[in-house]
Structure 1
């Protein structure tokens, strides 16, 4: 939170029925009988020569095929996916931002309510699981794409491994910011890389213009972010009580802290997230603490813990009540990252921590 390549080609036995989409009853029976490997010959993946339009033919879709290498897996799309299962809020909200909410046949593992601007549209999207969904649950909705926020969402004990889903005719895509293999994850997450992801998903879904417009809008908003006074240090605390889980030096928290001009006290850790003991936090003594507000571990709970412990109560940020709060769905790289940076910049201003020329 890399798998084998997701494309396969072979010939199916003549007695095996290989429909493009299968009913949920058939899929359940398939799982029960353990015949998934037999369907490798059905050519459901995007490299199926029998079902792939010839180049230049009338049935070919303009702008396709689109091939991307995603978290170490190459995926080829011969046409825009029309039935999408989204896992994690970042995936759902990206499609909503692109104006493609009607293509979502099921959402899962949401981190909280969507922003008000998409609330009405999101209300009509069925939630298929409050946690990482099983493969059976995903396949019941007959998707042609599973858009996942974490690599762990596409595993044997969740929605299914990527190569197996490809054999069943289901494409997969993981937020590049969440790639786990060192050779696949960004050296350091940046807004440029995030915007590249928006445009890549736009190409995959046949919506390059809405994606380009989204990037233009977010770049314009990003230019409005005011920066902290030079030398202001920060800790980004996501979860964990005995041992805090904090933003490291290469992930989404670092991306936001960079644009705010805040120095991450664990910025030298080459991980997206890391565990950090309280003793190390006390030694670092950050000027501000960014608190991720989640229903299961709220910002208020975190503040109570900081102020009730004799050791952390003496931290500069705690004594001066220098807390910044970000909602959990905005704490990972996605369409909320820019609005989160703007909001955090405003909170810095309320604390009197912006550069004098930007107050």
Structure 2
């Protein structure tokens, strides 16, 4: 009942705070990751490069505009399984510039700036502009973040989930469905608030955590969540302290260093991607239980290990569901 009342209150607050916007006024110009992008009309088609971008488009009811996708970590959200099956997957990982252009999209919607930024591994924004295709990068990957530092970028400030909401609202404006954007954001905000209240009730004060995404090899330093990314935002909401202090998005840190920090909880990523051996969650669990260093951590000895969808560790609309899941799981641990 509390959850329903909170959602209703949040929806009401947003309705009063934001005037209803039935249509986008064109031409629409947005400053996107330092680049001005202008739309004279809603794009009739888009290729999405990055699962977070794809799932936002689906959540806004824009699946019929998506003509190709790429960069997948795991299965699409269950409610979009049938829709996604009808759309061409250009690549599980990085699609080529030629494959994208061949779909003749009126927009390329991108999750990570490093795919199409100044050193874009697919192409640069200028390359797409030269063939008449505008690009949009999710605000989550450039606001308060420098993608020229570190392998996955470095954040100057803590990740804000408001950047997710900004991306949702901007895409809804671009595609002329602003009301759908407002509705989606209102729902996410209400769920976020309810999860935070549930976590607050746990009364945690000095609990610590580690988020392990993957590792290039099982016996090398793992990729773990830095101190200012999406997992750090979740930990802050849950009143957990991240044992990793680096501002890099996904720094590599030795198991010896992690073991000395001795986190109370370890969250490990589960995904369908198999770029690295440690992408397999079972391999992660086996390592934690058998490695002579990692197995000595309190979180491993007391089985305080939480399995999370890997895509939910990156900035995406899944962050709210991850927050809900973590609050539920933490309630089963004795961390006071």
Same topology, TM > 0.5: yes
Q: 1:166 aligns with which of 129, 132, 139?
A: 129
Q: 2:165 aligns with which of 188, 191, 195?
A: 195
Match of 2:13 in 1: none
TM-score, length of structure 1 as denominator length: 0.77
Equivalent residues in 2 for 1:234-245, closer than 5 Å: 234-240=209-215, 241=218, 242-245=220-223
Q: 2:34 aligns with which of 50, 72, 76?
A: 72
Match of 2:231 in 1: 253
Matched, 1:272 2:235: no
Query: Is the contact made by 2:45 and 2:106 (CA closer than 8 Å) also made in structure 1?
Result: yes
Q: For residues 29 and 94 of structure 2, what CA distance do their matches in structure 1 show?
A: 26
Match of 1:315 in 2: 297
CA offset at residue 62 of structure 1?
5.2
CA offset at residue 186 of structure 1?
6.0
1:259-294 deviations in Å (ceiling 9; x for gaps): 22211111x322222111111101110000010112
Q: For residues 128 and 255 of structure 1, what CA distance do their matches in structure 2 show?
A: 32
1:284-342 deviations in Å (ceiling 9; x for gaps): 10000010112332222111101111111110101001011111222211111101111
Query: Is the contact made by 2:116 and 2:124 (CA closer than 8 Å) also made in structure 1?
Result: yes
How large is the RMSD of aligned CA atoms in angstroms?
2.0
Query: Is the contact made by 1:138 and 1:159 (CA closer than 8 Å) also made in structure 2?
Result: no
Aligned length: 293
- Higher normalized helix content (fraction of residues): 2
Gaps spanning 5+ residues in structure 2: where? 1-22
1:22-72 deviations in Å (ceiling 9; x for gaps): xxxxxxxxxxxxxxxxxxxxxxxxxxxxxxxxxxxxxxx951222222222
CA offset at residue 177 of structure 1?
2.2
Structure 1 stretches (4+) deviating beyond 4 angstroms? 155-158, 181-186
Match of 1:287 in 2: 264
CA offset at residue 106 of structure 1?
0.4
Q: For residues 129 and 160 of structure 1, what CA distance do their matches in structure 2 show?
A: 15
Q: For residues 48 and 327 of structure 2, what CA distance do their matches in structure 1 show?
A: 30
Equivalent residues in 2 for 1:92-103, closer than 5 Å: 92-103=54-65
Q: 1:349 aligns with which of 322, 331, 335?
A: 331
Q: For residues 195 and 230 of structure 1, what CA distance do their matches in structure 2 show?
A: 29
Gaps spanning 5+ residues in structure 1: where? 1-60
Q: 2:88 aligns with which of 126, 142, 147?
A: 126
CA offset at residue 152 of structure 1?
2.3
Q: For residues 273 and 349 of structure 1, what CA distance do their matches in structure 2 show?
A: 27
Query: Is the contact made by 2:32 and 2:136 (CA closer than 8 Å) also made in structure 1?
Result: yes
Query: Is the contact made by 1:71 and 1:181 (CA closer than 8 Å) also made in structure 2?
Result: no
TM-score, length of structure 2 as denominator length: 0.82
Query: Is the contact made by 2:225 and 2:231 (CA closer than 8 Å) also made in structure 1?
Result: yes
Q: For residues 267 and 131 of structure 2, what CA distance do their matches in structure 1 show?
A: 43
Matched, 1:175 2:138: yes
Query: Is the contact made by 2:24 and 2:177 (CA closer than 8 Å) also made in structure 1?
Result: no
CA offset at residue 231 of structure 1?
1.2
